[in-house]
Amino acid sequence: MKKQKRVVADAAIPAFWQPFPGPSGPPVTIRDVKIIQTAPDGIRLVIVKIETSEPGLHGVGCATFTQRPEVVVTAIEHFLKPFVIGRDVHDIEDIFQTAYLSSYWRSGPVLHNALSGIDMALWDIKGKLAGMPVYQLFGGKARKAAPVYVHASGSDFAEVEEQARSFIEQGFRYIRCQVAVPGSSTYGVNPKKGGMRAAYHLDPKQDPWDPDAYVRVVPKLFDHLRAALGEEIELLHDIHERIPPIQAIGLAKRLEEFRLFFLEDPFAPEDNGYFRILRQQTSIPIAMGELYVNQQEYVPLVSERLIDFMRVHISDIGGLSMARKLAAYCEFFGVRTAWHGPGDASPVAHSANLQLDLSCSNFGIQESNLFPEKTQEVFPGCPEIRDGMMWSNERPGLGIDIDEKKAAKYPYPDHVLNGAWPPVRLPDGTVQRP
Ligand code: MG
């Protein structure tokens, strides 16, 4: 084949079209991959730090699967680290795809979290090389900051109302409300206030979980809160996949009149088929997804317009590369983002969430975690929450780092079962989804 003749000399190309130094210059390579395990807030976090051939240039990513952190560490240490060392840091997409395929059997929370640690750290590095926050690489700001929702809970309606009011006074407008069901081990409520307690054995003395009592109480809670707090405040609720699907449909219909911003996780991922049935019966907005790991779990729900808010935990689907594709896909179907963001998403994960929150036109809401001081010390550059919103600090990359010396002061706490989620049981002892 004849070689194409170059008709325009490079020197004739205007300066603004000349390639930037970096991708076309000498490669910047991955020199080392470090894994930092820390728990400043008592929650076991896994952070990946990629060091590069450029002195001082590094990136951080979140690989936190708090219930099984050691298996993620093994996946990175033994498989991904040797796979990526020496690679050019610029090639995020190729590194992601080759690493993803290299295990042959793929997907799942362990491998995806391991990949996410590498992937987020590479986006952090790319932002630093470009001298701009990562959201700029995603298209720039679509909003000034990301509105967040916070969690109010209590042992009774009055306590939930009181906590909601204190959040409203602090400037929050979106509040998730959960109340203890008397005598029941209830999700989302502090154990000291009658909430979730573990039932490790088939012991009749331990608090069971009673789905019937729960579905009787929740509509009364929102009747109370709407009357007390008025129409201006946005209320949210999380079923947490805890009740039989048909009861979730009944509850969704009863809650419709209280105009929730969204109702979360009505079904378990295993019961995805129920979304089609639910959608025909109520217009209550549905949020779903923190337990999803595989595209086949969430893509049909979007394309069939069965949910309103996509709530995946982005390290569980593989990191920022996958999440930005998912966000763009959701936009075409009118599905808004509401990335999972409790305390078991590290501050690095929150910073990654924020890059998408700021740049996606189909942003819905961001779940927030009010970072304790100790956590902020370990993670300099923690996103700031004020006026009910999460703000970027405008530093290049993800805008966050980890102080390894301070992180080392907070080793993992012991867990009773060496796996963090406590068993929940029906009154007859049958174990339930958490
Ligand atoms: Mg949830």
* 313 carries an active-site annotation: no
Specify the fold of 137-396.
TIM Barrel (3.20.20)
pTM of the model: 0.93
Q: How far is the centre of ligand 1, averaged over its atoms, from the C-alpha of 320 (Å)?
A: 20
What would the mean pLDDT of 391-401 be, rounded to a whole number? Answer: 97
Residue 195 has pLDDT above 90, yes or no: no
Share of the chain above pLDDT 90, in %: 81
* The pLDDT value given to residue 18: 47
Ligand 1 centre to CA of 127 (Å) is 30
Give the confidence band of 8 by pLDDT, cuts at 50, 70, 90.
Answer: low
Q: What is the pLDDT of residue 374?
A: 95
Q: Indicate the pLDDT class of residue 293, thresholds 50, 70 and 90.
A: very high
The token pair that represents 258 in the structure block: 């209280």
- In this predicted structure, the answer to whether residue 190 has a pLDDT above a threshold of 90 is no
Strands 389-391 and 146-154: antiparallel
In this structure, the number of other CB atoms found within 10 A of the CB of residue 224 comes to 18
- The residue from 90, 237, 240, 350 that is catalytic is 240
Q: What is the pLDDT of residue 309?
A: 98
Q: What spacing in Å lies between the alpha carbon of 152 and ligand 1's midpoint?
A: 13
Looking at residue 429, its pLDDT comes to 86
Give the mean pLDDT of 340-349.
95
Q: What is the pLDDT of residue 372?
A: 92
pLDDT (0 to 100) of residue 12: 60
Q: What is the pLDDT of residue 194?
A: 76
Q: Do residues 236 and 167 touch, judged by C-beta distance below 8 A?
A: no
Distance 174 CA to ligand 1 centre (A): 15
Decide which of 207 and 294 is more confident. Answer: 294
Residue range 350-357: average pLDDT?
98
Quote the ligand 1 centre to 124 CA distance (angstroms). 27
3-state DSSP of the chain: CCCCCCCCCHHHCCHHHCCCCCCCCCCCEEEEEEEEEECCCCCCEEEEEEEECCCCCEEEEECCCCCCHHHHHHHHHHHHHHHHCCCECCCHHHHHHHHHHHCCCCCCHHHHHHHHHHHHHHHHHHHHHHCCEHHHHCCCCCCCCEEEEEEEEECCHHHHHHHHHHHHHCCCCEEEEEECCCCCCECCCCHHHCECCCCCCCCCCCCCCCHHHHHHHHHHHHHHHHHHHCCCCEEEEECCCCCCHHHHHHHHHHHHHHCCCEEECCCCHHHCCHHHHHHCCCCCCEEECCCCCCHHHHHHHHHCCCCCEECCCHHHHCCHHHHHHHHHHHHCCCCEECCCCCCCCCHHHHHHHHHHHHHCCCECCEECCCCCHHHHHHCCCCCEEECCEEECCCCCECCCCCCHHHHCCCCCCCCCCCCCCCCEECCCCCEECC
> Which carries the bigger pLDDT value, residue 156 or residue 187?
156
Residue type, 195: G
Model confidence at 19, pLDDT cuts 50, 70, 90, reads very low
Q: How far is the CA of 265 from the centre of ligand 1 (A)?
A: 6
Ligand 1 midpoint to CA 238 (Å):
6
Indicate if the pLDDT at residue 286 is higher than 80. yes
> Is the per-residue pLDDT at 7 higher than 70?
no
112 tagged catalytic:
no
Confidence at 175, pLDDT banded by 50, 70, 90: very high
pLDDT single digits (tens) 47-77: 999 999 999 999 999 999 999 999 999 999 9
Q: From ligand 1's centre to the CA of 310, what distance in Å?
A: 11
Rounded Cα distance, 350 and 342, in Å: 9
Stretch 154-178: mean pLDDT, rounded?
97
Rounded average pLDDT over 387-404: 97
CA–centroid distance, 370 to ligand 1, in Å, is 16
| Separation of CA 290 and ligand 1 centre (Å) | 6
Q: For 259-270, b where at least 16 C-beta lie within 10 A, e where not — what string?
A: ebbbbbbbbbbe
User: pLDDT band at residue 20, thresholds of 50, 70 and 90?
Assistant: very low
Least confident of 93-107, 150-164, 186-200: 186-200
Across the range 119-123, mean pLDDT stands at 98
Alpha carbon of 328 to ligand 1 centroid (Å): 22
Q: What per-residue confidence (pLDDT) applies to 227?
A: 98
Which candidate in 149, 187, 274, 292 is catalytic?
A: 187
What pLDDT does residue 21 have?
47
- Split at pLDDT 50, 70, 90, the class of 2 is low
pLDDT at 165: 98
**Would you say residue 14 has pLDDT above 60?**
no
